[in-house]
Amino acid sequence: MAAGIFGVGGAIRAAVLAAFNLPKEVYLFTSGFTALFIDSSRIAAYFAGGTRLEGLFLWGLLLFVPLSFLGAFVAKKFIDRVPEQYFRFVIALFLGLAGLKFVVFP
């Protein structure tokens, strides 16, 4: 619930998964699958509750869904270049940047 209220779901998920010291392929699959499940169920709940997208919001949805797949593709190319022994450091770095963002822009 805190993820939905404060917008930190990805950071919480990253921190929890990092604690398990998973290989990077398992980490990425688990993170992606979890995000897909949570976001799909959230969208279904919004539509079931009567939320409708109109105008620019509908076009935004149609644009940003494919762009999210492009972002995942670019991220995969980046992560493929990161050696396994530095993977947890990269996660920690991005978690630190996410935390810094919340400190600077509350």
Domain ranges of the chain: 2-104
| pLDDT band of 3, cuts 50, 70, 90 | low
Q: What's the gap between Cα 4 and its chain centre?
A: 13
Average pLDDT of span 53-81: 90
Q: What pLDDT does 4 receive?
A: 67
pTM of the predicted model as reported, rounded to 2 decimal places = 0.78
Closest CA to 21 of 81, 75, 87: 87
The pair of structure tokens assigned to 104 is: 């600077």
What confidence score (pLDDT) does residue 9 get? 82
**What is the reported pLDDT for 2?**
62
